[in-house]
Amino acid sequence: MYLIVGLGNPGLSYKKTRHNAGFQALDKLADKLNVRIKTKGFSALYGEGKIDGERVILVKPQTYMNLSGDAVQSLLHFYKLEPDRLIVLYDDIDLPLGSMRIRANGSAGSHNGMRSVIACVNSENFPRIRIGVGKDESVLLRDYVLKRPSKAEQKTLDEVFENAADATILIVQGNIGEAQTRYNKKHEKNSSVSVDGNKD
């Protein structure tokens, strides 16, 4: 069994913003699995489905981003799951728009939602999918991530959300290496250094 969490902010005003990339990717996965993320509880919306017979719980924390870990911790406790049965999808300004980075573990980098999750579950040892939304040095970070992308950018992001959903399925199937090989390539071509100090 896996807890699959998309990070974002609740409310219509945040729905299509860059900072809600985790929610949007989770919606793609829900569509593929025919899961409705509608059940309310544990400061979250969640729904249950299966991937090749493996039970999965898809979760959208309904706290604001910097308290995301509260819902994750509560649900892990309720389902009696260890942190390594957690998968988190979230936006990353340190990756170029249209790229994706899958890691089996690691630090939160600059992302407040991931900092909250790691602090609450007291572990960095769980898979995560970082979705590149890029950044614009000419505007404040908060303004950039809480703004909706252009139509062209959204089209690119929609493709990444689709890939993130497929990568999540591979991880649940026990094929994280295949997911990394298939979906990390685009980022590796850019050869940048991530905020957690690892060459990506």
Question: pLDDT, tens digit, for every residue of 22-46?
Answer: 999 999 999 999 999 999 999 999 9
The residue from 19, 77, 111, 187 that is catalytic is 19
Fold of 2-190: Rossmann fold (3.40.50)
Active-site residue flag, 77: no
What is the reported pTM? 0.90
Q: Which long-range contacts (CB under 8 A, 24 or more apart) does 161-165 make?
A: 161/21, 161/24, 161/25, 161/27, 161/28, 161/131, 162/28, 163/100, 164/25, 164/28, 164/29, 164/89, 164/100, 164/129, 164/131, 165/25, 165/28, 165/29, 165/31, 165/32
Q: What is the mean pLDDT of residues 1-12?
A: 95
Span 48-106, pLDDT tens digits: 999 999 999 999 999 989 999 999 999 999 999 999 999 999 999 999 998 999 999 99
